[in-house]
Amino acid sequence: MQRQGSIGGSAAFRIRVTGGVLLVAHLAFVAWFTLRPLDVPWVMPANLRPFDGLRADLALGWAEAARRIGGGLVLLAPLGVLLPMASGRLTASPWASLLNTVTAGALLSLGIELLQTGVPGQVVDIDSLFLNTAGVALAHVALVPAGRSWLRRRTLARLPRTALPPEEPAQGRTPTIPRVGIAPWSDALPPSSP
């Protein structure tokens, strides 16, 4: 029996290692970018009301709003691809993969927001949590299913036909013994002591 995703052996291993290295590098960049102290004369108060930050960004004009909202979407978006890549599975349920990836992205974004409470110049913003999570989901939906499908086709095309696992033939009905019945309930109980 083969492990799930073990088709392609060394290719899956290379993808897993590359994904892990890129994931660590991206997380190091995100930690540096979001948790470095900023030297600013004043800071906005923390935004804990959903969508207030987005409304404020839209009030600044479309160019500034696109830059700020786009930055929030792009910051953690690579996790949508790197987390499944680091797992190295070529066959996985698309919905389970999306749910796992988005949950991990949301928890990482929440962790960043909580750590920013102790960093001078950084402000907690609930909308960045939503934007980061949406960016992870969009990147995952846009790239991961198509990438897995392409890798499966490529891997299966390279394998010789004899390397594929053989199909198991149908085994037929489960054999039964016709003359053995089920014991009645009263016969199955041990005799009671007086």
Beta-bridge mates of residue 125:
47
Name which of 33-47, 82-96, 179-193 the model is least confident about: 179-193
pTM of the model: 0.72
Of residues 91 and 138, the one with the higher pLDDT is 138
Q: How far apart are CA 187 and CA 191, in angstroms?
A: 9
Across the range 39-67, mean pLDDT stands at 87
- Do residues 97 and 84 make contact, with C-beta atoms less than 8 angstroms apart? yes
Name the more confident of 55 and 185: 55
Q: How confident is the model at residue 184 (pLDDT cuts 50, 70, 90)?
A: low
Could you tell me how many residues make up the chain?
194
pLDDT, mean over the chain: 83
d(CA 127, CA 51): 6
* Nearest alpha-carbon partner for 109 in 83, 76, 146, 153: 76
Q: What is the pLDDT of residues 121-171, one digit of tens each?
A: 888 889 999 999 999 999 999 999 998 888 888 877 776 665 556 666 667
Give the least confident one: 5-14, 37-46, 68-77. Answer: 5-14
